[in-house]
Structure 1
Protein backbone atom coordinates (compact mmCIF):
# COMPACT_ATOMS: atom_id res chain seq x y z
CA UNK A 1 0.00 0.00 0.00
CA UNK A 2 0.96 3.65 -0.25
CA UNK A 3 3.42 5.07 2.23
CA UNK A 4 1.66 6.32 5.42
CA UNK A 5 1.56 10.07 5.88
CA UNK A 6 1.75 11.68 9.30
CA UNK A 7 -1.36 13.59 10.32
CA UNK A 8 0.95 16.39 11.44
CA UNK A 9 2.75 16.66 8.11
CA UNK A 10 3.80 20.09 6.99
CA UNK A 11 1.68 21.73 4.32
CA UNK A 12 2.40 20.35 0.85
CA UNK A 13 0.43 21.49 -2.16
CA UNK A 14 0.89 20.92 -5.86
CA UNK A 15 0.00 21.97 -9.39
CA UNK A 16 -0.39 19.05 -11.77
CA UNK A 17 -1.03 20.02 -15.40
CA UNK A 18 -1.66 17.63 -18.28
CA UNK A 19 0.91 18.20 -21.07
CA UNK A 20 -1.66 18.29 -23.86
CA UNK A 21 -0.63 21.82 -24.76
CA UNK A 22 0.61 25.10 -23.25
CA UNK A 23 -1.08 26.70 -20.26
CA UNK A 24 -3.97 29.17 -20.73
CA UNK A 25 -5.48 31.68 -18.30
CA UNK A 26 -7.74 29.02 -16.75
CA UNK A 27 -4.80 26.81 -15.86
CA UNK A 28 -2.86 29.87 -14.64
CA UNK A 29 -5.68 30.58 -12.18
CA UNK A 30 -5.32 27.06 -10.76
CA UNK A 31 -1.53 27.38 -10.62
CA UNK A 32 -1.58 30.78 -8.92
CA UNK A 33 -4.31 29.76 -6.46
CA UNK A 34 -2.43 26.65 -5.34
CA UNK A 35 0.84 28.59 -5.19
CA UNK A 36 -0.62 31.39 -3.04
CA UNK A 37 -2.19 28.91 -0.65
CA UNK A 38 1.13 27.14 -0.17
CA UNK A 39 2.93 30.43 0.46
CA UNK A 40 0.33 31.59 3.00
CA UNK A 41 0.79 28.32 4.89
CA UNK A 42 4.60 28.62 4.58
CA UNK A 43 4.53 25.22 2.94
CA UNK A 44 5.91 23.52 -0.12
CA UNK A 45 4.46 23.81 -3.63
CA UNK A 46 5.25 20.94 -5.99
CA UNK A 47 4.75 20.50 -9.71
CA UNK A 48 3.79 17.19 -11.29
CA UNK A 49 3.25 16.44 -14.97
CA UNK A 50 0.12 14.29 -15.28
CA UNK A 51 0.89 12.39 -18.46
CA UNK A 52 -0.53 8.99 -17.44
CA UNK A 53 -2.85 9.27 -20.47
CA UNK A 54 0.06 9.10 -22.89
CA UNK A 55 -1.99 9.46 -26.12
CA UNK A 56 -3.07 12.95 -24.94
CA UNK A 57 0.48 14.11 -24.22
CA UNK A 58 1.97 16.49 -26.78
CA UNK A 59 5.71 16.26 -27.29
CA UNK A 60 7.47 19.26 -25.75
CA UNK A 61 4.37 20.59 -23.98
CA UNK A 62 5.84 19.78 -20.56
CA UNK A 63 8.89 21.99 -21.19
CA UNK A 64 6.65 24.82 -22.37
CA UNK A 65 4.45 24.53 -19.28
CA UNK A 66 7.40 24.56 -16.89
CA UNK A 67 8.83 27.64 -18.64
CA UNK A 68 5.46 29.38 -18.44
CA UNK A 69 5.37 28.80 -14.69
CA UNK A 70 8.87 30.21 -14.32
CA UNK A 71 7.96 33.21 -16.49
CA UNK A 72 5.12 34.01 -14.10
CA UNK A 73 7.37 33.70 -11.02
CA UNK A 74 5.85 30.41 -9.90
CA UNK A 75 8.85 28.45 -8.66
CA UNK A 76 8.35 24.99 -7.20
CA UNK A 77 10.04 22.82 -4.60
CA UNK A 78 11.92 19.63 -5.45
CA UNK A 79 11.97 17.69 -8.69
CA UNK A 80 9.14 17.51 -11.19
CA UNK A 81 7.43 14.11 -11.16
CA UNK A 82 6.12 12.54 -14.39
CA UNK A 83 3.28 10.03 -14.15
CA UNK A 84 4.51 8.24 -17.28
CA UNK A 85 7.58 7.19 -15.27
CA UNK A 86 5.59 5.68 -12.39
CA UNK A 87 3.85 2.69 -13.96
CA UNK A 88 5.63 0.22 -11.66
CA UNK A 89 4.33 2.09 -8.62
CA UNK A 90 0.76 2.09 -9.92
CA UNK A 91 1.02 -1.62 -10.71
CA UNK A 92 2.24 -2.28 -7.16
CA UNK A 93 -0.71 -0.47 -5.57
CA UNK A 94 -3.16 -2.12 -7.96
CA UNK A 95 -1.75 -5.55 -7.06
CA UNK A 96 -2.19 -4.75 -3.36
CA UNK A 97 -5.81 -3.75 -3.91
CA UNK A 98 -6.45 -6.90 -5.93
CA UNK A 99 -4.93 -9.05 -3.19
CA UNK A 100 -7.41 -7.46 -0.79
CA UNK A 101 -10.26 -8.31 -3.21
CA UNK A 102 -10.98 -4.63 -3.78
CA UNK A 103 -10.97 -4.89 -7.59
CA UNK A 104 -12.52 -6.92 -10.40
CA UNK A 105 -12.17 -7.26 -14.17
CA UNK A 106 -14.71 -5.60 -16.45
CA UNK A 107 -15.13 -6.10 -20.20
CA UNK A 108 -17.95 -3.54 -20.62
CA UNK A 109 -17.29 -0.89 -23.24
CA UNK A 110 -18.20 2.78 -22.83
CA UNK A 111 -21.04 2.25 -25.31
CA UNK A 112 -22.45 -0.61 -23.22
CA UNK A 113 -22.16 1.37 -20.00
CA UNK A 114 -23.90 4.39 -21.54
CA UNK A 115 -26.69 2.22 -22.96
CA UNK A 116 -27.43 0.80 -19.49
CA UNK A 117 -27.84 4.20 -17.82
CA UNK A 118 -25.93 7.24 -16.57
CA UNK A 119 -23.74 5.21 -14.22
CA UNK A 120 -22.04 1.84 -14.36
CA UNK A 121 -24.38 -0.82 -12.98
CA UNK A 122 -21.74 -3.28 -11.76
CA UNK A 123 -22.59 -5.85 -14.45
CA UNK A 124 -19.18 -7.54 -14.48
CA UNK A 125 -18.97 -7.43 -10.69
CA UNK A 126 -22.01 -9.73 -10.65
CA UNK A 127 -21.62 -11.74 -13.86
CA UNK A 128 -17.89 -11.56 -14.57
CA UNK A 129 -16.25 -10.28 -17.78
CA UNK A 130 -17.00 -11.67 -21.23
CA UNK A 131 -14.40 -14.26 -22.22
CA UNK A 132 -11.98 -13.19 -24.92
CA UNK A 133 -12.65 -9.45 -24.55
CA UNK A 134 -10.24 -6.82 -23.30
CA UNK A 135 -10.82 -5.97 -19.65
CA UNK A 136 -10.49 -2.95 -17.43
CA UNK A 137 -9.90 -3.15 -13.68
CA UNK A 138 -12.60 -1.55 -11.54
CA UNK A 139 -12.54 -0.61 -7.87
CA UNK A 140 -15.14 -2.20 -5.60
CA UNK A 141 -16.68 0.98 -4.29
CA UNK A 142 -18.28 -0.41 -1.14
CA UNK A 143 -17.75 2.65 1.09
CA UNK A 144 -18.14 5.72 -1.12
CA UNK A 145 -17.50 9.24 0.08
CA UNK A 146 -20.85 11.02 -0.28
CA UNK A 147 -20.03 14.42 1.21
CA UNK A 148 -16.99 16.60 0.61
CA UNK A 149 -15.83 19.44 2.85
CA UNK A 150 -14.45 22.10 0.53
CA UNK A 151 -13.01 25.47 1.51
CA UNK A 152 -14.62 27.25 -1.44
CA UNK A 153 -17.89 25.33 -1.75
CA UNK A 154 -18.61 24.27 1.84
CA UNK A 155 -20.31 20.90 2.36
CA UNK A 156 -20.82 19.32 -1.05
CA UNK A 157 -23.40 16.55 -1.34
CA UNK A 158 -22.49 14.18 -4.17
CA UNK A 159 -24.98 12.33 -6.34
CA UNK A 160 -25.19 8.99 -4.48
CA UNK A 161 -25.34 6.76 -7.58
CA UNK A 162 -22.36 8.53 -9.12
CA UNK A 163 -20.35 8.51 -5.88
CA UNK A 164 -20.98 4.77 -5.44
CA UNK A 165 -20.03 3.79 -8.99
CA UNK A 166 -17.30 1.15 -9.33
CA UNK A 167 -14.78 3.36 -11.12
CA UNK A 168 -11.92 2.26 -13.36
CA UNK A 169 -8.36 1.93 -12.02
CA UNK A 170 -6.82 0.48 -15.17
CA UNK A 171 -8.28 0.97 -18.61
CA UNK A 172 -9.14 -1.65 -21.22
CA UNK A 173 -6.27 -0.36 -23.38
CA UNK A 174 -3.80 -1.17 -20.59
CA UNK A 175 -3.20 2.38 -19.38
CA UNK A 176 -3.57 3.20 -15.70
CA UNK A 177 -6.56 5.42 -15.01
CA UNK A 178 -6.19 9.00 -13.81
CA UNK A 179 -8.12 8.26 -10.61
CA UNK A 180 -5.53 5.70 -9.51
CA UNK A 181 -2.48 7.65 -10.61
CA UNK A 182 -3.46 10.97 -9.05
CA UNK A 183 -4.30 9.45 -5.65
CA UNK A 184 -1.14 7.33 -5.48
CA UNK A 185 0.99 10.31 -6.51
CA UNK A 186 -0.60 12.66 -3.99
CA UNK A 187 -0.18 10.17 -1.15
CA UNK A 188 3.40 9.29 -2.11
CA UNK A 189 4.32 12.98 -2.33
CA UNK A 190 2.72 13.72 1.04
CA UNK A 191 0.21 16.20 -0.37
CA UNK A 192 -1.87 17.69 2.46
CA UNK A 193 -3.92 20.27 0.53
CA UNK A 194 -5.53 19.96 -2.90
CA UNK A 195 -6.13 23.39 -4.43
CA UNK A 196 -7.37 23.04 -8.02
CA UNK A 197 -10.17 23.88 -10.44
CA UNK A 198 -13.82 23.23 -9.66
CA UNK A 199 -14.10 20.97 -12.71
CA UNK A 200 -12.45 18.31 -10.51
CA UNK A 201 -14.81 18.77 -7.55
CA UNK A 202 -17.13 15.87 -8.38
CA UNK A 203 -14.26 13.53 -9.23
CA UNK A 204 -12.85 14.25 -5.79
CA UNK A 205 -15.51 11.93 -4.41
CA UNK A 206 -13.97 8.93 -6.16
CA UNK A 207 -10.47 10.09 -5.31
CA UNK A 208 -11.20 10.53 -1.60
CA UNK A 209 -12.92 7.11 -1.61
CA UNK A 210 -9.77 5.48 -2.99
CA UNK A 211 -7.54 7.66 -0.78
CA UNK A 212 -9.23 6.47 2.42
CA UNK A 213 -8.62 2.88 1.30
CA UNK A 214 -4.89 3.58 0.91
CA UNK A 215 -4.23 6.14 3.65
CA UNK A 216 -6.32 7.39 6.61
CA UNK A 217 -5.12 11.00 6.39
CA UNK A 218 -7.28 12.76 3.81
CA UNK A 219 -6.17 16.11 2.37
CA UNK A 220 -8.02 19.39 2.71
CA UNK A 221 -9.89 20.39 -0.43
CA UNK A 222 -10.23 23.77 -2.12
CA UNK A 223 -11.75 23.91 -5.61
CA UNK A 224 -11.22 27.24 -7.32
CA UNK A 225 -13.56 29.13 -9.69
CA UNK A 226 -13.32 28.18 -13.35
CA UNK A 227 -12.63 30.66 -16.13
CA UNK A 228 -15.57 30.56 -18.51
CA UNK A 229 -15.20 31.42 -22.18
CA UNK A 230 -17.59 33.46 -24.38
CA UNK A 231 -19.40 30.25 -25.34
CA UNK A 232 -20.31 29.54 -21.73
CA UNK A 233 -17.91 26.62 -21.41
CA UNK A 234 -14.84 26.48 -19.20
CA UNK A 235 -11.62 27.46 -20.91
CA UNK A 236 -9.64 24.36 -21.85
CA UNK A 237 -7.08 23.16 -24.33
CA UNK A 238 -9.78 21.07 -26.00
CA UNK A 239 -11.81 24.26 -26.52
CA UNK A 240 -8.77 25.98 -28.05
CA UNK A 241 -8.27 28.45 -25.20
CA UNK A 242 -5.67 31.11 -26.06
CA UNK A 243 -2.17 30.26 -24.87
CA UNK A 244 -0.50 32.42 -22.23
CA UNK A 245 1.76 35.05 -23.79
CA UNK A 246 5.29 35.61 -22.48
CA UNK A 247 5.01 39.37 -23.12
CA UNK A 248 1.83 39.72 -21.02
CA UNK A 249 3.05 38.32 -17.69
CA UNK A 250 1.76 41.13 -15.46
CA UNK A 251 -1.60 41.39 -17.25
CA UNK A 252 -2.14 37.65 -17.00
CA UNK A 253 -1.20 37.54 -13.32
CA UNK A 254 -3.57 40.43 -12.62
CA UNK A 255 -6.38 38.60 -14.40
CA UNK A 256 -5.67 35.39 -12.48
CA UNK A 257 -5.63 37.17 -9.10
CA UNK A 258 -8.95 38.90 -9.76
CA UNK A 259 -10.53 35.68 -10.96
CA UNK A 260 -9.51 34.07 -7.66
CA UNK A 261 -11.85 36.52 -5.94
CA UNK A 262 -9.15 38.92 -4.79
CA UNK A 263 -9.40 42.72 -5.14
CA UNK A 264 -7.91 44.32 -8.21
CA UNK A 265 -4.16 44.73 -7.53
CA UNK A 266 -2.87 48.31 -7.25
CA UNK A 267 -1.81 49.86 -10.53
CA UNK A 268 1.56 50.69 -8.95
CA UNK A 269 2.57 47.00 -9.08
CA UNK A 270 4.49 46.71 -12.32
CA UNK A 271 6.06 43.24 -12.28
CA UNK A 272 5.19 39.63 -11.55
CA UNK A 273 7.16 39.38 -8.31
CA UNK A 274 5.40 42.38 -6.81
CA UNK A 275 2.02 41.07 -7.90
CA UNK A 276 2.62 37.66 -6.32
CA UNK A 277 3.85 39.25 -3.08
CA UNK A 278 0.68 41.34 -3.00
CA UNK A 279 -1.36 38.26 -3.90
CA UNK A 280 0.00 36.25 -0.96
CA UNK A 281 -1.15 38.93 1.49
CA UNK A 282 -4.52 39.28 -0.24
CA UNK A 283 -5.03 35.50 -0.17
CA UNK A 284 -4.19 35.50 3.55
CA UNK A 285 -6.77 38.24 4.14
CA UNK A 286 -9.38 36.32 2.15
CA UNK A 287 -8.64 33.16 4.11
CA UNK A 288 -8.87 35.00 7.43
CA UNK A 289 -12.20 36.53 6.41
CA UNK A 290 -13.55 33.12 5.44
CA UNK A 291 -12.53 31.66 8.78
CA UNK A 292 -14.25 34.52 10.61
CA UNK A 293 -17.44 33.97 8.59
CA UNK A 294 -17.34 30.25 9.37
CA UNK A 295 -17.04 30.98 13.11
CA UNK A 296 -20.07 33.31 12.97
CA UNK A 297 -22.16 30.52 11.48
CA UNK A 298 -21.29 28.09 14.27
Structure 2
Protein backbone atom coordinates (compact mmCIF):
# COMPACT_ATOMS: atom_id res chain seq x y z
CA UNK A 1 0.00 0.00 0.00
CA UNK A 2 1.28 3.46 -0.89
CA UNK A 3 1.32 6.00 1.93
CA UNK A 4 1.12 9.59 0.64
CA UNK A 5 1.01 11.28 4.04
CA UNK A 6 3.36 12.02 6.89
CA UNK A 7 4.29 9.21 9.28
CA UNK A 8 2.56 10.52 12.40
CA UNK A 9 -1.19 11.08 11.80
CA UNK A 10 -1.44 13.12 14.97
CA UNK A 11 0.89 15.75 13.51
CA UNK A 12 -0.05 16.12 9.86
CA UNK A 13 -2.12 19.03 8.61
CA UNK A 14 -3.23 17.41 5.33
CA UNK A 15 -5.48 14.36 5.01
CA UNK A 16 -3.92 10.93 5.39
CA UNK A 17 -4.10 9.11 2.05
CA UNK A 18 -3.48 5.42 1.40
CA UNK A 19 -3.70 3.45 -1.84
CA UNK A 20 -4.77 -0.18 -1.49
CA UNK A 21 -2.27 -2.71 -2.87
CA UNK A 22 -2.99 -6.38 -3.75
CA UNK A 23 -1.95 -7.58 -0.28
CA UNK A 24 -4.71 -5.56 1.44
CA UNK A 25 -7.42 -6.04 -1.18
CA UNK A 26 -10.56 -7.65 0.24
CA UNK A 27 -9.80 -6.70 3.83
CA UNK A 28 -12.01 -4.56 6.11
CA UNK A 29 -11.25 -0.88 5.80
CA UNK A 30 -10.83 -0.40 9.56
CA UNK A 31 -8.30 -3.26 9.70
CA UNK A 32 -6.36 -1.88 6.75
CA UNK A 33 -6.13 1.60 8.26
CA UNK A 34 -5.22 0.22 11.70
CA UNK A 35 -2.35 -1.80 10.23
CA UNK A 36 -0.83 1.32 8.65
CA UNK A 37 -1.57 3.83 11.42
CA UNK A 38 0.01 2.57 14.60
CA UNK A 39 -0.68 5.83 16.46
CA UNK A 40 -4.46 5.39 16.12
CA UNK A 41 -6.40 2.60 17.83
CA UNK A 42 -8.80 0.51 15.80
CA UNK A 43 -11.68 1.81 17.93
CA UNK A 44 -10.66 5.38 17.12
CA UNK A 45 -10.49 4.54 13.42
CA UNK A 46 -13.94 2.94 13.57
CA UNK A 47 -15.30 6.10 15.20
CA UNK A 48 -13.78 8.25 12.46
CA UNK A 49 -15.33 6.00 9.80
CA UNK A 50 -18.77 6.22 11.39
CA UNK A 51 -18.40 9.99 11.71
CA UNK A 52 -17.87 10.29 7.94
CA UNK A 53 -14.16 11.14 8.11
CA UNK A 54 -13.06 8.31 5.81
CA UNK A 55 -13.72 8.24 2.07
CA UNK A 56 -12.76 6.36 -1.08
CA UNK A 57 -12.65 8.32 -4.32
CA UNK A 58 -14.53 11.15 -2.64
CA UNK A 59 -17.39 8.90 -1.42
CA UNK A 60 -17.72 8.62 2.36
CA UNK A 61 -17.48 5.15 3.83
CA UNK A 62 -19.63 4.92 6.95
CA UNK A 63 -19.19 1.21 7.70
CA UNK A 64 -15.98 -0.10 9.37
CA UNK A 65 -16.49 -3.58 7.87
CA UNK A 66 -16.47 -2.24 4.28
CA UNK A 67 -14.14 -4.39 2.12
CA UNK A 68 -11.57 -2.46 0.09
CA UNK A 69 -10.42 -3.18 -3.45
CA UNK A 70 -7.00 -3.00 -5.05
CA UNK A 71 -6.26 0.53 -6.18
CA UNK A 72 -8.79 2.19 -3.87
CA UNK A 73 -7.53 5.53 -2.63
CA UNK A 74 -8.54 5.86 1.04
CA UNK A 75 -8.60 9.33 2.53
CA UNK A 76 -8.68 9.71 6.32
CA UNK A 77 -9.47 13.14 7.71
CA UNK A 78 -8.50 13.80 11.31
CA UNK A 79 -10.68 16.53 12.86
CA UNK A 80 -9.01 19.25 14.87
CA UNK A 81 -8.59 18.06 18.49
CA UNK A 82 -11.19 19.47 20.85
CA UNK A 83 -10.04 21.28 23.97
CA UNK A 84 -10.72 18.95 26.91
CA UNK A 85 -10.41 21.70 29.50
CA UNK A 86 -13.68 23.63 29.93
CA UNK A 87 -13.47 27.40 29.89
CA UNK A 88 -15.73 29.87 31.62
CA UNK A 89 -18.62 31.19 29.54
CA UNK A 90 -21.02 34.00 30.34
CA UNK A 91 -24.17 31.85 30.34
CA UNK A 92 -27.08 33.12 32.48
CA UNK A 93 -27.72 31.07 35.62
CA UNK A 94 -30.78 30.92 37.85
CA UNK A 95 -29.11 30.81 41.27
CA UNK A 96 -31.48 29.69 44.02
CA UNK A 97 -28.92 29.65 46.84
CA UNK A 98 -25.21 30.30 47.17
CA UNK A 99 -22.66 30.59 49.92
CA UNK A 100 -18.93 29.88 50.21
CA UNK A 101 -19.48 26.12 50.08
CA UNK A 102 -22.39 25.26 47.77
CA UNK A 103 -24.48 26.71 44.98
CA UNK A 104 -27.98 25.54 44.05
CA UNK A 105 -29.03 26.07 40.44
CA UNK A 106 -32.47 25.90 38.81
CA UNK A 107 -31.38 24.43 35.46
CA UNK A 108 -33.43 25.16 32.34
CA UNK A 109 -34.27 22.38 29.91
CA UNK A 110 -31.75 22.21 27.08
CA UNK A 111 -28.67 22.96 29.17
CA UNK A 112 -26.13 20.11 29.36
CA UNK A 113 -24.63 19.73 32.85
CA UNK A 114 -20.98 18.96 32.00
CA UNK A 115 -18.77 18.84 28.89
CA UNK A 116 -18.64 15.63 26.89
CA UNK A 117 -18.59 14.31 23.35
CA UNK A 118 -20.42 16.79 21.14
CA UNK A 119 -20.92 19.27 24.00
CA UNK A 120 -17.54 20.70 24.90
CA UNK A 121 -18.95 24.22 25.33
CA UNK A 122 -22.19 25.84 26.40
CA UNK A 123 -22.66 23.61 29.45
CA UNK A 124 -23.59 24.30 33.06
CA UNK A 125 -19.97 23.67 34.02
CA UNK A 126 -18.82 26.40 31.61
CA UNK A 127 -21.35 28.76 33.20
CA UNK A 128 -20.27 27.82 36.73
CA UNK A 129 -16.59 28.38 35.96
CA UNK A 130 -17.46 31.89 34.76
CA UNK A 131 -19.73 32.56 37.75
CA UNK A 132 -17.63 31.02 40.53
CA UNK A 133 -14.11 31.52 39.21
CA UNK A 134 -11.67 29.23 40.98
CA UNK A 135 -14.05 28.42 43.85
CA UNK A 136 -15.29 25.06 42.56
CA UNK A 137 -14.42 21.68 44.02
CA UNK A 138 -11.79 19.84 42.01
CA UNK A 139 -12.86 16.35 43.11
CA UNK A 140 -15.03 15.83 40.03
CA UNK A 141 -12.06 16.35 37.72
CA UNK A 142 -11.32 19.07 35.21
CA UNK A 143 -14.44 18.37 33.13
CA UNK A 144 -16.85 18.11 36.07
CA UNK A 145 -15.67 20.54 38.75
CA UNK A 146 -18.07 20.58 41.68
CA UNK A 147 -20.62 18.27 40.05
CA UNK A 148 -22.09 15.94 42.67
CA UNK A 149 -25.16 14.81 40.73
CA UNK A 150 -26.73 15.73 37.42
CA UNK A 151 -30.01 15.84 35.56
CA UNK A 152 -30.53 15.16 31.86
CA UNK A 153 -30.06 17.92 29.30
CA UNK A 154 -33.79 18.15 28.58
CA UNK A 155 -34.91 17.80 32.21
CA UNK A 156 -35.44 21.07 34.06
CA UNK A 157 -35.01 21.76 37.74
CA UNK A 158 -32.79 21.85 40.79
CA UNK A 159 -29.29 20.59 41.39
CA UNK A 160 -26.57 21.43 43.91
CA UNK A 161 -22.91 22.01 43.06
CA UNK A 162 -19.98 21.92 45.50
CA UNK A 163 -17.67 24.92 45.67
CA UNK A 164 -15.15 23.32 48.03
CA UNK A 165 -13.69 19.85 48.38
CA UNK A 166 -15.12 19.60 51.91
CA UNK A 167 -18.60 20.37 50.59
CA UNK A 168 -18.15 17.91 47.72
CA UNK A 169 -17.24 15.07 50.07
CA UNK A 170 -20.19 15.82 52.36
CA UNK A 171 -22.71 16.06 49.53
CA UNK A 172 -21.36 12.97 47.77
CA UNK A 173 -21.89 10.94 50.95
CA UNK A 174 -25.50 12.08 51.14
CA UNK A 175 -26.22 11.23 47.51
CA UNK A 176 -24.55 7.84 47.93
CA UNK A 177 -26.86 7.19 50.89
CA UNK A 178 -29.90 8.31 48.80
CA UNK A 179 -31.59 9.86 51.82
CA UNK A 180 -31.94 6.59 53.73
CA UNK A 181 -30.39 8.00 56.90
CA UNK A 182 -30.39 11.75 56.26
CA UNK A 183 -32.55 14.61 55.00
CA UNK A 184 -31.68 14.23 51.30
CA UNK A 185 -34.84 14.40 49.16
CA UNK A 186 -35.28 14.53 45.40
CA UNK A 187 -38.74 14.71 43.88
CA UNK A 188 -39.62 15.05 40.22
CA UNK A 189 -42.88 16.01 38.52
CA UNK A 190 -43.61 13.93 35.44
CA UNK A 191 -46.38 14.09 32.85
CA UNK A 192 -46.90 10.58 31.52
CA UNK A 193 -49.14 8.83 29.02
CA UNK A 194 -52.10 7.09 30.64
CA UNK A 195 -52.24 6.40 34.37
CA UNK A 196 -51.48 3.42 36.60
CA UNK A 197 -54.53 1.69 38.11
CA UNK A 198 -53.32 2.41 41.65
CA UNK A 199 -52.43 5.79 43.11
CA UNK A 200 -48.91 4.96 44.24
CA UNK A 201 -46.27 2.30 43.93
CA UNK A 202 -42.59 1.42 43.69
CA UNK A 203 -40.57 0.26 40.71
CA UNK A 204 -37.61 -1.93 41.61
CA UNK A 205 -35.91 -2.86 38.34
CA UNK A 206 -32.22 -2.97 37.45
CA UNK A 207 -30.93 -0.77 34.65
CA UNK A 208 -28.12 -1.25 32.13
CA UNK A 209 -27.07 0.04 28.73
CA UNK A 210 -29.42 -1.13 26.01
CA UNK A 211 -27.84 -3.78 23.79
CA UNK A 212 -29.79 -2.41 20.82
CA UNK A 213 -28.75 1.22 21.35
CA UNK A 214 -25.85 2.08 23.65
CA UNK A 215 -27.13 5.64 23.99
CA UNK A 216 -30.19 4.36 25.82
CA UNK A 217 -30.82 2.49 29.06
CA UNK A 218 -33.01 -0.57 29.54
CA UNK A 219 -34.52 -2.67 32.31
CA UNK A 220 -32.62 -5.94 32.72
CA UNK A 221 -33.50 -9.06 34.69
CA UNK A 222 -29.94 -9.94 35.62
CA UNK A 223 -26.85 -7.80 36.21
CA UNK A 224 -27.23 -4.06 35.64
CA UNK A 225 -27.41 -1.52 38.46
CA UNK A 226 -30.02 -1.57 41.19
CA UNK A 227 -32.64 1.15 40.62
CA UNK A 228 -35.69 2.07 42.71
CA UNK A 229 -38.29 4.74 41.92
CA UNK A 230 -41.23 5.56 44.17
CA UNK A 231 -44.19 7.13 42.35
CA UNK A 232 -47.51 8.71 43.22
CA UNK A 233 -50.31 9.84 40.92
CA UNK A 234 -51.18 13.48 41.62
CA UNK A 235 -53.77 14.08 38.90
CA UNK A 236 -55.38 12.19 36.02
CA UNK A 237 -56.54 13.82 32.78
CA UNK A 238 -59.25 12.80 30.35
CA UNK A 239 -62.96 12.18 29.97
CA UNK A 240 -64.63 10.54 32.97
CA UNK A 241 -66.00 7.65 30.88
CA UNK A 242 -62.66 6.92 29.15
CA UNK A 243 -59.27 5.60 30.31
CA UNK A 244 -57.02 8.50 31.36
CA UNK A 245 -55.18 10.16 28.51
CA UNK A 246 -52.32 11.24 30.76
CA UNK A 247 -51.45 11.89 34.37
CA UNK A 248 -49.26 14.05 36.57
CA UNK A 249 -47.00 11.95 38.76
CA UNK A 250 -44.49 12.65 41.49
CA UNK A 251 -41.42 10.44 41.37
CA UNK A 252 -38.93 10.12 44.21
CA UNK A 253 -35.57 8.50 43.69
CA UNK A 254 -34.08 5.95 46.04
CA UNK A 255 -31.22 5.49 43.59
CA UNK A 256 -29.86 7.82 40.93
CA UNK A 257 -29.26 6.00 37.65
CA UNK A 258 -29.00 7.43 34.15
CA UNK A 259 -32.49 8.04 32.68
CA UNK A 260 -33.95 6.20 35.69
CA UNK A 261 -37.40 7.81 35.83
CA UNK A 262 -37.79 7.81 32.05
CA UNK A 263 -36.96 4.12 31.71
CA UNK A 264 -38.94 3.04 34.76
CA UNK A 265 -42.07 4.90 33.64
CA UNK A 266 -41.83 3.35 30.18
CA UNK A 267 -41.29 -0.05 31.80
CA UNK A 268 -44.68 0.10 33.52
CA UNK A 269 -46.37 1.29 30.33
CA UNK A 270 -46.53 5.03 31.07
CA UNK A 271 -43.66 6.81 29.30
CA UNK A 272 -43.18 10.53 29.67
CA UNK A 273 -44.86 12.87 27.24
CA UNK A 274 -42.32 14.25 24.77
CA UNK A 275 -39.83 11.44 25.37
CA UNK A 276 -38.89 10.25 21.88
CA UNK A 277 -36.28 7.84 23.23
CA UNK A 278 -38.54 5.80 25.49
CA UNK A 279 -42.06 6.73 24.41
CA UNK A 280 -41.96 6.93 20.63
CA UNK A 281 -44.66 4.26 20.33
CA UNK A 282 -47.18 6.64 21.90
CA UNK A 283 -46.71 9.45 19.35
CA UNK A 284 -49.68 8.22 17.29
CA UNK A 285 -51.95 9.18 20.20
CA UNK A 286 -51.18 12.84 19.46
CA UNK A 287 -52.92 12.69 16.07
CA UNK A 288 -56.16 11.66 17.76
CA UNK A 289 -56.26 14.72 19.98
CA UNK A 290 -58.25 17.83 19.21
CA UNK A 291 -56.84 21.33 19.07
CA UNK A 292 -55.41 23.13 20.98
CA UNK A 293 -54.23 20.11 23.01
CA UNK A 294 -52.92 18.40 19.87
CA UNK A 295 -50.54 21.30 19.20
CA UNK A 296 -49.53 21.54 22.86
CA UNK A 297 -48.60 17.88 23.16
CA UNK A 298 -47.11 17.64 19.67
CA UNK A 299 -45.05 20.77 20.20
CA UNK A 300 -43.58 19.58 23.50
CA UNK A 301 -40.21 18.38 22.27
CA UNK A 302 -38.53 17.24 25.49
CA UNK A 303 -39.36 14.70 28.16
CA UNK A 304 -41.97 16.20 30.51
CA UNK A 305 -39.83 15.92 33.64
CA UNK A 306 -39.03 18.60 36.20
CA UNK A 307 -36.81 18.26 39.28
CA UNK A 308 -38.96 20.40 41.50
CA UNK A 309 -37.79 19.48 45.01
CA UNK A 310 -34.30 19.21 46.44
CA UNK A 311 -33.43 18.98 50.13
CA UNK A 312 -30.10 18.15 51.75
CA UNK A 313 -27.99 18.77 54.81
CA UNK A 314 -25.54 21.61 54.36
CA UNK A 315 -22.19 19.78 54.30
CA UNK A 316 -20.50 22.34 56.57
CA UNK A 317 -23.14 23.96 58.80
CA UNK A 318 -25.31 20.86 59.19
CA UNK A 319 -28.46 22.89 58.48
CA UNK A 320 -31.19 21.20 56.45
CA UNK A 321 -31.79 23.17 53.26
CA UNK A 322 -34.96 22.64 51.22
CA UNK A 323 -35.70 24.17 47.82
CA UNK A 324 -38.67 24.02 45.48
CA UNK A 325 -38.74 25.09 41.84
CA UNK A 326 -41.94 26.18 40.07
CA UNK A 327 -42.83 24.54 36.78
CA UNK A 328 -41.10 26.16 33.79
CA UNK A 329 -43.42 27.78 31.26
CA UNK A 330 -43.48 24.92 28.76
CA UNK A 331 -44.32 22.35 31.45
CA UNK A 332 -46.93 24.63 33.04
CA UNK A 333 -48.61 25.29 29.68
CA UNK A 334 -48.76 21.58 28.87
CA UNK A 335 -50.19 20.80 32.29
CA UNK A 336 -52.81 23.52 31.92
CA UNK A 337 -53.85 22.14 28.53
CA UNK A 338 -54.25 18.64 29.96
CA UNK A 339 -56.30 19.96 32.88
CA UNK A 340 -58.74 21.51 30.41
CA UNK A 341 -59.08 18.30 28.40
In which range does the TM-score fall when normalised by the shorter chain?
Answer: under 0.3
| Larger-gyration structure (1/2) | 2
Per residue, is there more helix in 1 or in 2? 1
Q: TM-score, normalised by structure 2?
A: 0.24
